[in-house]
Structures are given as structure tokens and as C-alpha cells.
């Protein structure tokens, strides 16, 4: 007699924020299929913004309930715990403000299928063509960003990785200016994503061969009961790590990341630099703390080398850049290294590494908003051919537009970690967690943790040099007669810069409320 097939149980209430974003993305595809062209944008913009705001409201409702589940939702596939809800909230807010930037005219090409510089492209621009499908693509990417760090098994995490990445490959190639560079960025990001996916998938197969499951708690239990030096396990761990480090942009896997940031439309670059990093760090924590937590003595030395190399490569190579977006890309790489310092601070397992997790969550918030604000400023400094990317064009900006230059200078100081900015407390939190880890561990590895913090301070000092160099260029250099113009900001751009400044200044002066939120989220750490 055949056994009855048990129907899956789906906790729709817990997954409501995720389902709302994906549902809006599907509706956006239907709008593209059936709505007339002249109506599409007027439908897409409110649909996208309302779905992101609604998903954030649903996250707040779950947080205020306070009674988080003790088991993973969707048959053990998605962990809706404190860190997941915090990361979801951060991603949704960052995505909302990035959509406000995307909504500005002039960022996206009129016809991506037309050859750059051809008559077809000129004709599409003359009739006012545009790619309104960017809005459902953004929603799919945001949904993938939410699923990726909340996945409770490797297979679901791989699905989240692909759903997050595939729309971004397309969005990178839709820049209105520097078309060939944009198409090159799209291809390079696709290749980077293919490497990441291939390593992750092969590593997942190896881990399954060792543990007999792709569930993260199941892998953790297999480690507790099995041989820790099994070749399948070690190879699988290495491949999983490489796949995730590609998405973070850690050295030596950062190749082409600056090219992608440079060629993509600036609002898309802002979304990738903020939301993708938040999601990827959350997934890295999920894999290495929940699934491979019992193997931390094996992966921490390798992570130490990656973190040190990432900080130094990002800080040193940023000095040589003459393109503002490439400089911010290398800055992002350096910040990924600072975050990896926190990932290594796994000394309080009984409490779920809550102190280290709180520091990482806090860092992700302050870095994300500062990044979006900096790229919003970049969209406003214009040459006749588009945005003024070359640093020489920013000379004397403080005399042309003191307010805009002052705002950008403040964002750069926050990146550098100067006191009274949010960046200072972000780095302080991560470094403190690492020093506490070193004191707890003791012996030689504890000394290595202290050494890593010292390297982090040195990398911060190197990074401060190129941040200050830009500030000096803006305020203490003469402006060229044919210097760039400052675009009249739209309401959306003003809102983005205002929110970013509010968070950067507010958290810099009063960090405790955000630290309390991060501590509260970290206390509900990772459903087992």
C-alpha cells in the first residue's frame, strides 16, 4: 500500500515580506506584458515602492510581536529569526532609496538591443524610449537578497544566490552613457557570478557527500559526530567559502568588481554596493557559523589571511584610482575586509556569538546608508557626456557647490571611520568584537586576532589618505573653467541624500539606539 504524500507546511505569515516582494515582481512582469508602453512606468514606480514599504511594514510587525519561531519555516528551508528580520529590514530600506535613484531620468539606455552609437539607438532616444522592466528586475533582485541570508539549507541558499544575481547581470548592461563599458560590466559580472555559483554548487555537493544533508543544522550535527578532517568536508568547505567570498568581493576574488561598479548605471551600483554586500555577509555568517561552526579552528586561519589581504588590497589600490566609482569600489572591498574581522570573532558560542553578530549587523547598516548616499551625490555631478567620473573633474567642486561637496566629504569621512560619524562606531564595534575574541581564545590564535585588528587600523589609515585626497581636491583646488555642472536634484535624489545623511550623522552622534536594535536582533540568533 502506497504511503500518503504529506503536503508541505508553509508559514505564510512568517514569509509574508519575502512573498510580497516576489509577488510584486511577478505583477511587474505582467505589467510589462499587457500594459501599454506609455502607462508602464506610472504603474511600476508606485507598485515597486509600495511593495518594498509594505514588506518593511510586515517585518516591523513581526519584530514587534517579539515571539520568534524556534523552528525554520517552509519545511526547514527559511530561518525567520532575529538576524534575518534585521537584514531584511536593512535590505528593504536600502532598496527603497535605490529605487528613488533609479526613477530619475537619464540613467538607463533607451534600447539595450541597439548597437551603441548606432542610428537605432539614436532613434530610440529621440522618441523617448526606456526600459521600464528595470523595476521588476530590481524586485526580483531584492527578493533574492532577502532569501539568500535567510536560507536554512544550502539548496535554498543557492536558489537565493541565483535569483539575486541574474537580474543584476541585466541591470549592469543598461547604462545610458558609456554603453560599451556598461555591456562589458554586465559580461564581467555574469562571469564573476558564474564562478561564484559554480564553486558554491560544487562545494554543496561535497558537503552533502560528507554529511548526507544540505540542511545547515544537519551539517553542524554531522560535524559534531563525524571526522573533522575528512577530505570531502574540507574541500566542500573551501569551495563554499570561495563562492561566498566572490559575492562579497573579498581578495583575491575581487577581480572585475571595480570594472562592474564603474560600468553599471550608478543607481544599480549603489544597490549592488549596499544590498548585495549585506545579503552576502548574512549568507556567509549562516554557512560558517551555523553549518560549519564546529569547524572554526580550521577555517579561521584561512579567513584571517583573506581578511588581511582584502583590507590591504582595497585600501592600497584605491589610492591609484582616478575614477570616482572605481575608488568607491575599492573602498567597498576594504570594508568587506573589515566585516570579515567580525566573522572570525566566534568566541562566545554558548550565546550564539551574539556580541560579534551585533557588531556586524551594526556595521552593515551604517556602511549601507553611507554608500547609497555617496553614489547619490555622484549622480549629480555632470559633464556634457553624463556623470563626471574622473577625479580631476571634481576639482574645485567645493567652490561651485559647497553644500553638495560638504555632504560628499562627510560621507568620505564616515568611510574613513572619523569620530562623530557612523563609520567610526561601525569599525569600533567590529574591532572590539575581534579583540574580545582574541582575549577569550588566548594562545597564538588570540595574538593573531590582535594582529588582524592592528592591520585593520593600518588599512583604515591608508584609506583615510585617499578619502582626504578627494576632500582636498574639492575644496583646495581651482575649478576648471569648463568644470562639471551640478544637476538639479529630483525629489527622490534629495530624499536619498537626506536619509543617508540623517543615518550617518544620527548614528555618529547617538549610536546607542541602533546598537540596541542590533543587540536585540543578535539575541535571537540562528534557529537550530
What region, left, alpha or beta, does residue 20 occupy, with left being phi > 0 and alpha being psi -120 to 50 degrees?
Answer: alpha
pLDDT score for 334: 93
pLDDT at 350 over 60: no
Q: What is this structure's pTM?
A: 0.94
Q: Is 29 exposed, middle or buried (0-12, 13-18, 19+ CB in 10 A)?
A: middle
> Residue range 49-58: average pLDDT?
97
Complete DSSP assignment for 347-413: --GGGTTHHHHHHHHHHHHHHHHHHHHHHHHHTTEEETTEE--BGGGGTTHHHH-HHHHHHHHHHHH
Contact of 22 with 140, CB cutoff 8 Å = yes
Q: What is the pLDDT of residue 440?
A: 60
| Residue 523's pLDDT band (cuts 50, 70, 90) | confident
> Model confidence over 366-392: pLDDT tens digits?
999 999 999 999 999 988 777 888 888
**Average pLDDT, integer, range 250-274:** 91
| Predicted local distance difference test score (pLDDT) of residue 527 | 56
Of 35-39, 96-100, 154-158, least confident by mean pLDDT is: 35-39
3-state DSSP call for residue 78? strand
Question: Looking at the predicted structure, is the pLDDT value of residue 274 above 70?
Answer: yes
* pLDDT of residue 127 exceeding 70: no
The residues with which 485 forms a beta bridge, in sequence order, are 382
Q: How many residues are there in the chain?
A: 528
What mean pLDDT do residues 202-226 have? 91
Mean pLDDT, residues 67-87 taken together:
87
Of 72 and 346, the structure prediction assigns the larger pLDDT to 72
| pLDDT: which is higher, 7 or 496 | 496
Model confidence over 414-453: pLDDT tens digits? Answer: 999 999 899 999 999 999 888 887 656 555 566 788 889 9
Three-state DSSP state, 71: coil
Whole-number Å distance between alpha carbons of 21 and 25:
6
Q: What pLDDT does 443 receive? A: 57
pLDDT at 128: 60
What is the C-alpha to C-alpha distance for residues 87 and 320, in angstroms, rounded to an integer? 33
Reference 504, options 382, 377, 394, 395; nearest CA is 377
Give first-to-last CA distance, the chain, whole Å.
35
Identify the pLDDT of residue 355.
82
- Cα atoms found within 13 Å of the Cα of residue 130, Cβ hemisphere only: 19
Does pLDDT of 21 surpass 90?
yes
What's the Cα-to-Cα distance from 147 to each of 16, 75, 181, 182, 280, rounded to whole Å? 12, 15, 30, 27, 11
Amino acid at each position: 500500500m502506497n504511503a500518503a504524500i504529506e503536503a508541505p507546511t508553509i508559514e505564510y505569515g512568517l514569509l509574508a515580506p519575502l512573498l510580497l516582494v516576489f509577488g510584486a515582481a511577478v505583477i511587474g512582469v505582467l505589467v510589462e506584458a499587457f500594459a501599454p508602453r506609455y502607462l508602464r512606468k506610472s504603474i511600476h514606480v508606485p507598485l515597486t515602492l509600495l511593495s518594498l514599504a509594505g514588506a518593511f511594514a510586515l517585518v516591523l510587525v513581526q519584530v514587534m510581536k517579539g515571539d520568534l519561531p524556534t523552528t525554520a519555516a517552509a519545511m526547514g528551508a527559511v530561518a525567520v529569526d532575529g538576524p534575518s528580520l534585521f537584514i531584511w529590514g536593512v535590505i528593504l530600506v536600502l532598496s527603497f532609496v535605490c529605487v528613488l535613484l533609479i526613477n530619475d531620468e537619464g540613467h538607463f539606455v533607451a534600447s539595450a538591443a541597439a548597437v551603441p552609437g548606432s542610428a537605432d539607438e539614436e532613434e530610440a532616444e529621440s522618441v523617448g524610449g526606456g526600459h521600464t522592466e528595470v523595476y521588476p528586475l530590481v524586485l526580483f533582485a531584492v527578493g533574492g537578497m532577502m532569501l539568500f541570508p535567510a536560507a536554512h539549507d544550502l539548496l535554498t541558499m543557492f536558489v537565493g544566490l541565483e535569483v539575486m544575481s541574474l537580474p543584476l547581470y541585466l541591470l549592469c548592461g543598461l547604462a545610458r552613457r558609456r554603453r560599451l563599458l556598461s555591456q562589458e560590466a554586465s559580461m564581467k559580472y555574469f562571469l564573476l557570478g558564474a564562478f561564484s555559483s559554480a564553486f558554491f554548487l560544487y562545494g554543496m555537493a561535497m558537503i552533502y557527500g560528507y554529511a548526507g544533508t544540505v540542511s545547515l543544522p544537519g551539517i553542524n550535527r554531522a560535524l559534531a559526530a563525524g571526522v573533522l578532517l575528512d577530505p570531502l568536508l574540507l574541500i566542500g568547505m573551501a569551495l563554499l567559502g570561495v563562492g561566498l567570498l566572490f559575492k562579497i568581493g573579498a581578495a583575491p576574488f575581487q577581480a572585475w568588481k571595480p570594472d562592474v561598479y564603474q560600468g553599471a548605471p550608478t543607481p544599480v551600483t549603489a544597490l549592488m554596493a549596499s544590498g548585495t554586500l549585506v545579503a552576502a555577509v548574512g549568507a556567509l555568517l549562516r554557512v560558517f557559523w551555523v553549518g560549519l561552526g564546529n569547524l572554526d579552528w580550521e577555517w579561521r586561519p584561512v579567513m584571517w589571511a583573506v581578511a588581511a589581504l582584502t583590507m590591504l588590497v582595497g585600501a592600497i589600490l584605491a589610492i591609484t584610482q582616478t575614477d570616482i566609482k572605481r575608488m568607491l569600489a575599492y573602498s567597498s572591498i576594504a570594508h568587506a575586509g573589515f566585516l570579515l574581522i567580525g566573522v572570525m570573532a566566534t568566541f562566545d558560542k554558548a550565546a550564539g556569538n551574539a556580541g560579534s553578530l551585533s557588531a556586524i549587523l551594526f556595521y552593515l547598516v551604517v556602511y549601507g546608508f553611507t554608500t547609497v548616499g555617496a553614489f547619490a551625490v555622484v549622480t549629480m555631478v555632470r559633464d556634457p557626456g553624463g556623470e563626471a567620473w574622473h577625479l580631476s573633474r571634481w576639482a574645485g567642486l567645493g567652490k561651485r557647490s559647497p553644500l553638495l561637496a560638504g555632504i560628499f566629504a562627510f560621507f568620505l569621512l564616515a568611510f574613513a571611520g572619523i569620530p562623530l560619524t557612523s563609520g567610526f562606531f561601525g569599525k569600533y564595534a567590529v574591532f572590539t568584537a575581534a579583540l574580545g575574541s582574541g582575549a577569550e581564545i588566548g594562545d597564538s590564535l588570540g595574538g593573531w586576532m590582535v594582529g588582524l585588528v592592528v592591520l585593520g587600523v593600518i588599512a583604515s589609515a591608508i584609506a583615510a589618505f585617499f578619502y582626504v585626497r578627494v576632500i582636498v581636491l574639492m575644496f583646495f583646488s581651482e575649478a576648471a573653467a569648463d568644470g562639471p555642472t551640478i544637476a538639479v536634484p529630483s525629489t527622490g535624489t534629495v530624499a536619498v541624500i537626506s536619509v543617508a545623511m540623517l543615518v550617518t550623522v544620527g548614528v555618529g552622534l547617538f549610536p546607542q539606539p541602533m546598537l540596541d536594535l542590533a543587540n536585540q536582533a543578535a539575541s535571537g540568533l540562528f534557529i537550530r
